[in-house]
Chains A and B, each alone.
Chain A
Amino acid sequence: GEDVEQSLFLSVREGDSSVINCTYTDSSSTYLYWYKQEPGAGLQLLTYIFSNMDMKQDQRLTVLLNKKDKHLSLRIADTQTGDSAIYFCAEEWDTDKLIFGTGTRLQVFP
């Protein structure tokens, strides 16, 4: 399966936490990723998690993986206006190619 789904929009107040959710279908994925894309820019690798892990924390970012439900989430603590962007989850499929989710547009307001 190659469907990776995300909610389209998320709006949060500066200083609050943001949680971006993703569901995927390929249970054999080895790694799952979060990428950030600012307007007109490339894809920035934020973090990734190995499929045998439940959680990974990296500074303000926390990734949670529920493999049973094929659910991945990205929590951004103390969200800043500079975090406004589109966030893509992606799963590694077959020979290392990435299948991207539909993207979640995060808007942070003061």
Chain B
Amino acid sequence: AAGVIQSPRHLIKEKRETATLKCYPIPRHDTVYWYQQGPGQDPQFLISFYEKMQSDKGSIPDRFSAQQFSDYHSELNMSSLELGDSALYFCASSFSGSSYEQYFGPGTRLTVT
């Protein structure tokens, strides 16, 4: 079965650079969620989109922005990167008709040097 696809899988950036993470949800899923997992920590909710509109916002820095496109894929844009942004970034998707099942992608490991 098709799963959530994230790209790139690994990304190395320097401080103050920008990064764009992409997420392709499971076909027919209309809701996308972004989570950040720091080393040895639990995943923290960043932001979510339903039908291309932002539906909820968590602890997402102002330096980050995200959007969902007409094909339901989503991009997380991160600017002025800081060392503390180094983490695993997960995207999850669900279908609004059964939103209790969130399926996670493999994650993008971002390293800021």
Interface residues of chain A, those whose CB is within 8 Å of chain B, are: 30-31, 33, 35, 41-45, 48, 50, 88, 92, 94-103
In the complex, how many residues of chain B place their beta carbon closer than 8 angstroms to a beta carbon of chain A?
A: 23
A1 to B78, CA, bound (A): 29
Tally A-B pairs: CB < 8 A: 57
Instruction: Report whether A88 and B100 are in contact in the complex, using a CB–CB cutoff of 8 Å.
Output: no
A44 to B101, CA, bound (A): 11
Interface residues of chain B, those whose CB is within 8 Å of chain A, are: 31, 33, 35, 42-45, 48, 55-56, 58, 90, 92, 94, 99-107
A102 to B43, CA, bound (A): 9
Instruction: Report whether B48 and A42 are in contact in the complex, using a CB–CB cutoff of 8 Å.
Output: no
Pick from B42, B55, B92, B99: contact of A102, CB under 8 Å: B42
A102 to B56, CA, bound (A): 22
CB distance from A94 to the nearest CB of B (A): 7
A102 to B94, CA, bound (A): 23
Pick from A41, A45, A88, A94: contact of B42, CB under 8 Å: A88
Pick from A41, A94, A96, A101: contact of B94, CB under 8 Å: A96
Known A42-B107, A43-B90, A43-B104; contact A96-B99, beta-carbon cutoff 8 A: yes
Task: Name the B residues within 8 Å of A94 (CB-CB).
Answer: 56
Task: Name the A residues within 8 Å of B101 (CB-CB).
Answer: 45, 48
A96 to B100, CA, bound (A): 7
Instruction: Report whether A92 and B48 are in contact in the complex, using a CB–CB cutoff of 8 Å.
Output: no
Q: Closest residue to A45 on the B side, CB-wise?
A: B103
